[in-house]
């Protein structure tokens, strides 16, 4: 227990949030258009807000290697490059969400884009050039990849909520994603092993086993270690401060190795650097530690079976600026065994001599600073992008640096194209892609990513944040501790025992009763541990730093010499450029606020009502009963920049009333035994674990603890100045256009646009064309991108939306709506009235009667390459076809011919909407197509070659004998229902529904078409009978399916977890029609009683679903049902179903005698699917 202080000093310190003291009367004071937009120059919006979003995997190649995908973060687009001989040609700029940071290609037609500011993932159809679905995933998503069986699962890293969300990649909206919590702050990058069985999650702010012993504890235990270097003569005694310590594996030690501090810190740190997820089960399988401090991108080496991770290692354990000058960070690649164990460390800068504090030009010319991405070639060669050095390092398989390749400024992403011997590098700061020859290890050319809306102050001043060449050794920069202009989540002691006293005048004239004006503060150079502060919005405060010991940003210039180790400070002009850049930095919206900018009434982190907390904070005198919290923490940013004397704070030093934005990111510290997320919380040195505890200080006179919780909730929800509607999105498509939640979301978005908190734009395919629209708040309709057209209502959008006509609504910054919608180049000529640089090519494939033909494969070739498949109406669509070059459209399907065979367009200047083709034969009469279609209809997959050939040859062995061919076709068709693959997938899904829910109310069957289709795809993922480890894959799929099933809300509603094992089994058995014998039922009950968990319930349900008696009873019903599902692709009508079930039962299941299969495959409805 801490010893009591003298009575006059019993007020506990209030360093950071609310600065308080006794009342003034007592003498004490209180501190208190169509086609692609034109890539052209334009005047940027002068209110530009710079979020400096963290690009993670901004480049990706499509699997066929024909296209390179690149995110354009500031312009909120996905750029698509056609690759010709390795040279990227920009062919499309597809609007996505705000601040896209990562992209991954699911296949050659679909890409997923992660939108950091929009908190969403855009699912992009690369053929139409349109977003078909938007997934809201949570605060600040950073990355996505595909893993699991056949890459069937999409893993999305959500940094702000510290979790990974796992979607069914083929049907992401079919069910809620699985959620995998990550024990670390700011999980950021994803990687996978070669087989896609494991997913690795890099934790950016993982920490490094450092903590701070609070000042009071340090003082009680003998004080600080003597400074090194020693304190300059003439300096007054240094203030008492806390002390940074480090866990050495058995104790908390200081820089001397003294372990006296161990009892002062009750917790240990989890320090999870990389989380490992089992892709099959979407469950955490391991946590890897000891990698570094800031953990970046990774790549898996299948030869050494190690994960290679770029990272930095912060030296914040070292005290004082002279000891850290030019050497406060190490830049590395670490090789980690996914099973655990010590990491192998490969220094990216082995040439640096840190004993020479000045460094040299020769040394800096070889340095690799701020590693951002890593790629591995098949021969083991590694490529590492160095964000701060404008270079790519080339390492051998052993991790030794072999060479360095100069590229553009700010390389953030790599895409390796081995067949062409090319490496593509996205250079974020200059918005270009470098093309590197990997054989010559040299840059060949650079191409623009697309339009860059950033104003000159961003482009010209950014280098002073990131450029590591401005340091002694070329390996560190301001961004080493302020990544993305934010903060590193660490505490540093940047005092200088050889420094001088800073004298600061307090210029604040405050309305507070307790803040004096025109006071002077004398700041000792040995300041003690301080948490890194964000540069976002820093210029909104007049005095800077925790102590307010800097009057303006220009006074940070000495850091370029004293901390970065540069021989001289940057020039005044350069400092002004840096300051202009910093002025653009802003916080993102607070994720705790509601979309309508109201405060939440429940913040679970503290159990408080933020709306009520706002009222208390600004309306109740809770500081000694005489002053408002908001008097010192003035809105809008939460500070009046007032300097508070140390005596009044009961602190050794004066401090400034700090701003309050971004507090929600500082949670996670718990000052109790056990493994904890972080050692740093609130206050200047991070030693206050949470806001509720802080507000329990006796100087706060809250009426109740709930009042404290409500104020804490308000502080966590504090408005950053950027409204929550900024970046909010909604994609309307055929599936959701009539859903109530769509209308509700649109109500909020239009209301926020009407209130001028954001502007609302709509982009997508409208009535067959790429269009864009801007909300007009006076008429509550949308202006179009063509002059003279009538405005469009919200209902008109909903009516027009559908398959191939998806429309995306997005809230954007006020002032940028016109640029991001109807007038992209800002020349006052609307997009639709501009001569296009790209057009749409669309048409239909029809039969001789004019009916659309579905499932026709259509290719675009020539100057660009793309593929499409016709929909149910025979339609196909190619978006963003360049007006330059020659383009040929060709349809194809086995057993069919087309007229004309192809269509060619030379330099099209307008949309080509009538590119139609006539199919002259029935595809279903082709044996190969007939068989292939059965794979798709019954097994939900494309045929394997051996199976396709086997069944096709069986039919074709009849030659021209029509009777023989008919029998063969019937038997072939029936075989797909009887096949092991279907019995173990689709039929198992049927029985699972039967066992769980019995028949659908009012229907003779337990499952509908969409339900069985989705379930079959899940169990059948990656399963091809008699190929590879198909049995193991099937078993893994089944286990995952049943485990997920018993956790479904509708299952839990019928079978609550409170049921006893006996009640659970009895209810299941009764629901299924009592197929179990008494002994089977009792055995199953005992089995569940031994493991009454979700897994135990899943096993019990599976045993019932696989029960032989249940399978026998339901066989004929399922056989009939699959005639409707497989052939007609719809739910059965009751009359027809009962007719065929009766007939099949009459013939004891003999489908040939019952002529059931024959009737379905020769029916008009079936053949009309293929236009005959």
Q: What sign results for the dihedral spanned by CA atoms 200, 206, 208, 213?
A: negative
Q: SS3 of 555, please?
A: helix
Q: Given its phi and psi angles, is residue 720 left (phi above 0), alpha (psi -120 to 50 degrees) or beta?
A: alpha
Task: Note the pLDDT of residue 508.
Answer: 52
**pLDDT band (50, 70, 90) for residue 498:** very high
Q: Are 482 and 312 in contact (CB under 8 A)?
A: no
Task: Note the pLDDT of residue 607.
Answer: 97
Q: pLDDT above 70 covers what percent of the chain? A: 94
pLDDT at residue 313 greater than cutoff 60 = yes
Cα–Cα distance between 750 and 775 in angstroms, integer?
8
Q: Given its phi and psi angles, is residue 1059 left (phi above 0), alpha (psi -120 to 50 degrees) or beta?
A: beta
Assign 3-state DSSP to the chain and report helix, strand, coil percentages, each to 5.
Answer: 25, 25, 45
**pLDDT band (50, 70, 90) for residue 963:** confident
**pLDDT band (50, 70, 90) for residue 976:** confident
CA end-to-end distance (rounded Å), the chain: 88
Cα–Cα distance between 290 and 274 in angstroms, integer?
9
Distances (CA, A) of 521 to 114, 379, 424, 763, 1026: 47, 62, 53, 55, 80
In 3D, which of 497, 850, 925, 493 has the Cα closest to residue 684? Answer: 493
User: DSSP character for 175?
Assistant: S
Angle, vertex CA 162, rays to CA 159 and CA 163, nearest 5: 100
Where does CATH 2.60.40.10 sit in the chain?
838-921
Give the tens place of pLDDT for each residue, 66-105.
999 999 999 999 999 999 777 899 999 999 999 999 999 9
pLDDT at residue 921 greater than cutoff 50 = yes
pTM: 0.76
Q: pLDDT above 90 covers what percent of the chain? A: 71
pLDDT at residue 37 greater than cutoff 50 = no
Span 983-1008, mean pLDDT?
A: 92
Angle, vertex CA 491, rays to CA 490 and CA 492, nearest 5: 120
Helix (H) / strand (E) containing 201: strand 198-205
Q: SS3 of 391, please?
A: strand
pLDDT at residue 34 greater than cutoff 70 = no
Q: Are 820 and 761 in contact (CB under 8 A)?
A: yes
- The structure tokens listed for 1081 are 């039922």
Angle, vertex CA 278, rays to CA 275 and CA 280, nearest 5: 155
Cα–Cα distance between 1010 and 1017 in angstroms, integer?
11
Span 661-673, mean pLDDT?
A: 96
Cα–Cα distance between 149 and 1020 in angstroms, integer?
9
Task: Note the pLDDT of residue 550.
Answer: 87
pLDDT at residue 1 greater than cutoff 60 = no
Q: Are 845 and 917 in contact (CB under 8 A)?
A: yes
Tokens 């502080």, located at residue: 715
- The structure tokens listed for 749 are 């978005």
Q: SS3 of 41, please?
A: coil
Q: SS3 of 156, please?
A: strand
Span 983-1012, mean pLDDT?
A: 91
Tokens 């939900």, located at residue: 940
Sheet order of strands, 391-395 included: 371-376, 382-386, 391-395, 401-406
Cα–Cα distance between 156 and 277 in angstroms, integer?
12
Task: Note the pLDDT of residue 41.
Answer: 33
Give the tens place of pLDDT for each residue, 744-757.
999 999 999 999 99
Cα–Cα distance between 175 and 135 in angstroms, integer?
12
- The structure tokens listed for 743 are 């209308």
Task: Note the pLDDT of residue 895.
Answer: 58
Phi then psi for 1132, rounded to 5 degrees?
Answer: -75, 155
Cα–Cα distance between 1165 and 1127 in angstroms, integer?
9
Concatenating the DSSP letter of every residue in 457-489 gives HHHHHTHHHH-GGGSSSSS--GGGTSGGGS--S
pLDDT at residue 1067 greater than cutoff 60 = yes
Task: Write down the mean pLDDT value for the chain.
Answer: 90
Q: What is the CA radius of gyration of the chain?
A: 33
Cα–Cα distance between 321 and 331 in angstroms, integer?
19
The residues, ordered by sequence, that sit 6+ positions from 1007 with a Cβ below 8 Å of its Cβ are 989, 990, 993, 994, 1000, 1015, 1121
- The structure tokens listed for 228 are 């090194």
pLDDT at residue 1164 greater than cutoff 60 = yes
Give the tens place of pLDDT for each residue, 125-150.
999 999 999 999 999 999 999 999 99
pLDDT at residue 1172 greater than cutoff 50 = no
Give the tens place of pLDDT for each residue, 374-407.
999 999 999 999 999 999 999 999 999 999 999 9
**pLDDT band (50, 70, 90) for residue 517:** low
Give the tens place of pLDDT for each residue, 1029-1038.
888 899 999 9
| Least confident span in 182-191, 732-741, 907-916, 1093-1102 | 907-916
Give the tens place of pLDDT for each residue, 563-581.
999 999 999 999 999 999 9
Cα–Cα distance between 1089 and 1108 in angstroms, integer?
23
Cα–Cα distance between 844 and 838 in angstroms, integer?
20
pLDDT at residue 23 greater than cutoff 70 = no
The Cβ-side half-sphere exposure at 883, using a 13 Å CA radius, reads 14
Q: Give the domain 838-921 fold.
A: Immunoglobulin-like (2.60.40)
Q: Are 554 and 569 in contact (CB under 8 A)?
A: no
Task: Note the pLDDT of residue 975.
Answer: 84
Task: Note the pLDDT of residue 515.
Answer: 52
Span 875-890, mean pLDDT?
A: 90
Cα–Cα distance between 941 and 316 in angstroms, integer?
54
Angle, vertex CA 775, rays to CA 769 and CA 776, nearest 5: 130
Q: Are 335 and 399 in contact (CB under 8 A)?
A: yes
Give the tens place of pLDDT for each residue, 519-563.
677 889 999 999 999 999 999 887 888 988 888 899 999 999 999
**pLDDT band (50, 70, 90) for residue 743:** very high
Q: How many CB atoms lie within 10 A of CB 65?
A: 14
Q: What is the 3-state secondary structure (H, E, C) of 837-863?
A: CEEEEEEEEECCCCCECCCCEEEEEEC
pLDDT at residue 21 greater than cutoff 90 = no
Strands 198-205 and 185-192: antiparallel
Task: Note the pLDDT of residue 4.
Answer: 28
Cα–Cα distance between 291 and 208 in angstroms, integer?
9
Task: Note the pLDDT of residue 143.
Answer: 99
Cα–Cα distance between 43 and 816 in angstroms, integer?
12
Task: Note the pLDDT of residue 507.
Answer: 57
| Least confident span in 209-218, 913-922, 966-975, 1033-1042 | 913-922
Helix (H) / strand (E) containing 1014: helix 1009-1020
Q: What sign results for the dihedral spanned by CA atoms 465, 466, 470, 475?
A: positive
In 3D, which of 94, 725, 771, 757 has the Cα closest to residue 782? Answer: 771
Distances (CA, A) of 978 to 388, 728, 975, 1075, 1146: 61, 48, 5, 22, 19
- The structure tokens listed for 722 are 């950027």
Task: Note the pLDDT of residue 698.
Answer: 82
Cα–Cα distance between 1158 and 974 in angstroms, integer?
10
Q: How many CB atoms lie within 10 A of CB 707?
A: 21
Q: Decide which of 370 and 974 is more confident.
A: 370
User: DSSP character for 912?
Assistant: B
pLDDT at residue 43 greater than cutoff 60 = no
Sheet order of strands, 866-869 included: 866-869, 857-862, 886-892, 903-906
């Amino acid at each position: 227990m801490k010893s009591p202080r003298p009575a006059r000093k019993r007020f506990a310190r209030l360093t950071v949030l609310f600065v308080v003291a006794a009342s003034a009367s007592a003498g004490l004071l209180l501190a208190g258009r169509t086609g692609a937009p034109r890539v052209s120059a334009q005047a940027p919006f002068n209110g530009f807000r710079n979020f400096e979003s963290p690009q993670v995997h901004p480049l990706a190649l499509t699997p066929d290697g024909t296209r390179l995908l690149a995110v354009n973060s500031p312009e909120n687009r996905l750029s698509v490059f056609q690759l010709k001989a390795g040279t990227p040609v920009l062919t499309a700029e597809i609007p996505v969400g705000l601040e896209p940071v990562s992209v991954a290609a699911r296949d050659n037609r679909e890409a997923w884009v992660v939108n950091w500011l929009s908190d969403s993932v855009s699912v992009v159809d690369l053929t139409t050039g349109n977003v078909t679905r938007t997934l809201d995933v949570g605060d600040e998503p950073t990355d996505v990849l595909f893993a699991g069986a056949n890459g069937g699962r999409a893993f999305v890293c959500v940094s702000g909520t510290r979790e990974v969300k796992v979607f069914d990649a083929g049907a992401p909206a079919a069910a809620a994603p699985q959620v995998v919590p990550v024990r670390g702050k700011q999980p950021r990058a994803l990687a996978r092993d070669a087989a896609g069985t494991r997913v690795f999650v890099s934790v950016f702010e993982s920490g490094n086993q450092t903590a701070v012993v609070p000042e009071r504890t340090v003082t009680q235990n003998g004080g600080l270690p003597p400074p090194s270097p020693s304190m300059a003569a003439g300096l007054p005694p240094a203030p008492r401060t806390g002390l940074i310590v480090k866990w050495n594996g058995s104790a908390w030690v200081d820089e001397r190795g003294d372990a006296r501090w161990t009892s002062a810190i009750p917790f240990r740190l989890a320090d999870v650097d990389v989380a490992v997820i089992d892709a099959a089960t979407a469950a955490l399988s391991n946590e890897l530690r000891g990698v570094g401090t800031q953990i970046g991108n990774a790549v898996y080496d299948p030869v050494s079976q190690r994960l290679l991770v770029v990272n930095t290692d912060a030296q914040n354990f070292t005290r004082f600026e002279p000891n850290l000058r030019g050497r406060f960070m190490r830049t590395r690649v670490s090789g980690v065994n996914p099973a655990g164990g010590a990491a192998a460390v490969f220094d990216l800068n082995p040439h640096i001599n840190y004993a020479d504090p000045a460094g040299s030009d020769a040394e800096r010319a070889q340095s690799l600073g701020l590693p951002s991405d890593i790629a591995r070639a098949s021969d083991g060669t590694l490529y590492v992008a160095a964000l701060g050095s404008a270079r790519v390092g080339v390492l051998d398989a052993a991790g030794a640096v072999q060479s360095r390749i100069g590229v553009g400024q700010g390389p953030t992403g790599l895409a390796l194209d081995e067949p062409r011997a090319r490496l593509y590098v996205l250079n974020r700061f200059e918005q270009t892609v470098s093309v590197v020859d990997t054989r010559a290890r040299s840059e060949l050319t650079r191409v623009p990513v697309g339009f860059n809306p950033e104003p000159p102050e961003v482009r010209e001043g950014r280098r002073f944040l990131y450029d590591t060449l401005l340091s002694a050794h070329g390996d560190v920069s301001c961004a080493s501790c302020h990544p993305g202009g934010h903060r590193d989540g660490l505490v540093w002691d940047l005092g200088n025992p050889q420094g001088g006293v800073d004298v600061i005048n307090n210029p604040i004239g405050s309305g507070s009763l307790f803040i004096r004006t025109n006071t002077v503060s004398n700041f000792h150079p040995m300041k003690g541990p301080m948490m890194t502060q964000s540069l976002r919005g820093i210029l909104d405060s007049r005095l800077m730093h925790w102590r307010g010991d800097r009057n303006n940003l220009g006074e940070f210039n000495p850091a370029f010499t004293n901390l970065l180790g540069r021989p001289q400070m940057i020039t005044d002009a350069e400092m002004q450029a840096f300051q202009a850049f910093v002025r653009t930095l802003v916080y993102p919206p607070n994720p705790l606020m509601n979309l309508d900018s109201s405060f939440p009434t429940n913040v679970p982190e503290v159990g408080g009502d933020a709306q009520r907390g706002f009222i208390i904070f600004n309306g109740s005198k809770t500081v000694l009963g005489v002053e408002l919290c908001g008097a010192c923490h003035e809105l809008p940013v939460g500070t009046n920049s007032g300097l508070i004397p140390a005596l009044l704070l009961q602190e050794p030093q004066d401090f400034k009333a700090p701003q309050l934005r971004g507090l929600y990111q500082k949670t996670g510290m718990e000052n109790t035994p056990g493994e904890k997320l972080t050692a740093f919380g609130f206050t200047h040195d991070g030693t206050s674990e949470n806001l509720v505890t802080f507000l329990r200080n006796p100087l706060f006179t809250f009426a109740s603890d709930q009042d404290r919780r409500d104020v804490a909730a308000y502080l966590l929800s504090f408005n950053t100045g950027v409204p929550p509607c900024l970046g909010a999105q909604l994609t309307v498509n055929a599936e959701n256009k009539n859903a109530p939640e769509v209308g509700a979301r649109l109500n909020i978005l239009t209301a926020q646009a009407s209130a001028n908190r954001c502007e609302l734009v709509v982009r997508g395919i409208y009535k067959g064309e790429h269009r864009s629209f801007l909300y007009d708040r006076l008429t509550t309709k949308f202006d179009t991108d063509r002059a003279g057209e009538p405005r469009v209502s919200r209902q008109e959008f909903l009516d027009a939306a559908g398959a191939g006509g998806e429309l995306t609504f997005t809230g954007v910054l006020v002032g940028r709506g016109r640029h991001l919608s109807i007038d992209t180049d800002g020349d006052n000529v609307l997009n639709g009235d501009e001569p296009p640089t790209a057009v749409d090519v669309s048409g239909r494939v029809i039969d001789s009667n004019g009916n659309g033909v579905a499932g026709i494969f259509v290719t675009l070739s020539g100057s660009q390459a793309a593929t499409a498949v016709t929909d149910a109406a025979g339609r196909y669509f190619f978006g963003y076809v360049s007006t330059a070059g020659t383009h040929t459209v060709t349809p194809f399907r086995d057993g069919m011919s087309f007229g004309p065979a192809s269509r060619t367009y030379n330099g099209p200047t307008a949309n080509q909407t009538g590119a139609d083709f006539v199919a002259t034969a029935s595809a279903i009469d082709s044996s190969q197509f007939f068989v292939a279609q059965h794979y798709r209809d019954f097994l939900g997959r494309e045929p394997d070659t051996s199976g396709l050939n086997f069944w096709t040859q069986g039919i074709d062995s009849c030659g021209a004998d029509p009777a023989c061919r008919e029998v063969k076709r019937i038997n072939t068709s029936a075989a797909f229902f009887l096949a092991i693959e279907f019995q173990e997938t689709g039929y198992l899904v049927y029985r699972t529904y039967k066992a769980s829910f019995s028949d659908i109310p009012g229907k003779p069957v337990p499952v509908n078409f969409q339900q069985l289709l989705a379930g079959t795809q899940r169990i059948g993922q990656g399963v091809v009978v008699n190929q590879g480890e198909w049995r193991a894959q099937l078993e893994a799929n089944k286990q995952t399916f049943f485990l997920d099933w018993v956790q479904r809300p509708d299952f839990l509603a019928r079978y609550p977890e409170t049921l006893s094992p006996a009640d659970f089994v009895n209810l299941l058995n009764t629901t299924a029609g009592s197929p179990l014998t008494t002994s089977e039922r009792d055995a199953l009950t005992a089995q569940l009683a031994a493991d009454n968990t979700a897994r135990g319930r899943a096993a019990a349900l599976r045993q019932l679903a696989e029960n032989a008696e249940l399978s026998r009873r339901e066989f004929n019903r399922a056989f009939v049902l699959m005639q409707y599902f497989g052939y007609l692709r719809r739910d059965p009508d009751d009359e027809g179903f009962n007719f065929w079930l009766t007939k099949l039962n009459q013939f004891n299941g003999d489908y040939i005698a019952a002529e059931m299969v024959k009737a379905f495959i020769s029916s008009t409805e079936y053949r009309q699917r293929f236009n005959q």
